Structure formats: C-alpha cells, structure tokens
Structure 1
C-alpha cells in the first residue's frame, strides 16, 4: 500500500500553466496512479493539500496506517519547508520526490530542494510517468 501526496497548487492541474504541467487534472492523475497501482498489485491512496501542516500529518501517520512507501510532490514546499523535510526524515518509510516539470530547467529558486536529500530519490521532468516510475521503484523494495 503506497501513499501519494501532492502539495500546494497541484489541485489546479489542467488549468494552471498547462504548458508546464500538462492539460490533465489532479483527478485524472490520481485515477491513473490508482490504475498503475492495480497493475503493480498494490493499493494506492492519493491526497492533495494546500496546507503544509496537513501534508506533515499525512507523512507522520503513513507508517502507522500501514503504508509501505510515499510518493510526494511537495510543490513549492520543496524549496523551503524544513518542517516537511524533518517529517520525511523522521519516519522510516521510503519516500520518492516527484515533480512534473524539470525543476532544474526552470527559475533558479526551483533548483534547490530541501526535501530531496531525505528522500530515496527524486524524479523530475517526466510528467505523469514520474509517478509511475516512483511506484515501480517502491514496489521493488
């Protein structure tokens, strides 16, 4: 069982900068992730929040809720949320950070991730496929 967390503004997928993030909605992405989970023989649960504290709680509770790993797209929190970084570091589950766009090819402030160093890996710029690759990786652990 894997947890997929999407952070601030990802609820606007499909309407927010479609040239950067694509035309698919968050609901479409979540449905696709659930289908990939079915193909991999695992249950996928998806959550999105614009609130840092809610994301922290989901990360902190994931292990006791029976999840085996987390895929997280922290959105802008990637670049400055030491609280989210500490929540990820403070629990035992493997976490893979995912970004739809290639953050290293965008504005300079997006080049730094405070969360990636405490994750097993980071996938950036592969669109929705990044979520699939993260689920495949976690399934193989």
Structure 2
C-alpha cells in the first residue's frame, strides 16, 4: 500500500510555530516515526505553501497512491480548488488537523475538503496522522 501525506501552508514551521497548539516536534522528525510505525505502508511526504502545487499533487495521487492523508492548513477553509481536486479523483482522502478547528476561530469551522473526504480526524495533535493511516 502507498499513501501520500500532504501538508499545506505553514506546516513546514511545525516545531517552531505556536508550540502550545502544534507541539515542539518538526514534521520531518515525526515522519521518521511514522515510517517506523507503519513500515508495511510505503509513505511519501510532500509539503507546500502553494495552493496550486497541492492541487497538482492531489491530481497525481489518483494514479500513484492508494490513499492521501491531507492537512491543507488554512487552505481547508478557503480553497474551493483543493475541494474540487479531491472530488475529481477516486483515491480516498482523509482530512486531518493537528488542532481541534472547531475550538478555534469561527472561520476555521468551514471546510471545503470535508464534503469530499473519506473522513476527518482533528484535534489529536500529530496523532491525527496516525489515526488517518490506520483508516486505510
């Protein structure tokens, strides 16, 4: 099984950005742990702050991966294009968030991803990714 983990804007700052919300571990450090924990799954990781690059990766995933774990960051709440890309592919996508977006600002309560996702996992810190991987 091949799974793409796709992170959006500002997730390259994990470990530095708001550690009270996002923790002190970088995603690169965490990704090594995921690879060890899920050694039977071929994991690929990509992060971008650019919406179009995320859309391209989602489109490419349809031919290359059995599933996508997507944390689109702030694009979750603004990007109709990412939502449409997920709707256009047959590969299942699990939406994840490190924080509980419903416990944060009102604008974070809207997701353009959720209606087209296999499921949504949020609020469990980096463990949200582990739970998403277990769903495949």
Q: Verify same fold: TM over 0.5.
A: yes
Deviates more, 1:71-80 or 1:56-65: 56-65
Q: CA deviation at 1:52?
A: 0.5
- 1:47 corresponds to which residue? 46
Secondary structure in 2 matching 1:63: helix
- The alpha-carbon deviation at position 129 of structure 1 amounts to 1.1
Are 1:7 and 2:8 counterparts? Answer: yes
Task: Give 1:135's aligned residue.
Answer: 133
Q: How many residues align?
A: 135
Runs of 5+ in structure 2 lacking a partner? none
When the two chains are superposed, the root-mean-square deviation of aligned CA atoms in Å is 0.8
Equivalents in 2 of 1:14, 1:27: separation in Å? 10
Aligned to 1:17: 18
Matches of 1:85 and 1:79 in 2, distance apart? 10
Quick check: 1:4–1:71 contact (8 Å CA) kept in 2?
yes
1:117 matched to 2:119: no
- Which secondary structure does the structure 1 equivalent of 2:6 belong to? strand
Which consecutive unaligned segments of at least 5 residues does structure 1 have? none
Give the TM-score of the pair, scaled to structure 2: 0.96
Matched, 1:56 2:85: no
Tell me by how many angstroms 1:80 deviates.
0.9
Does the 8 Å contact 1:34/1:45 carry over to 2?
A: no
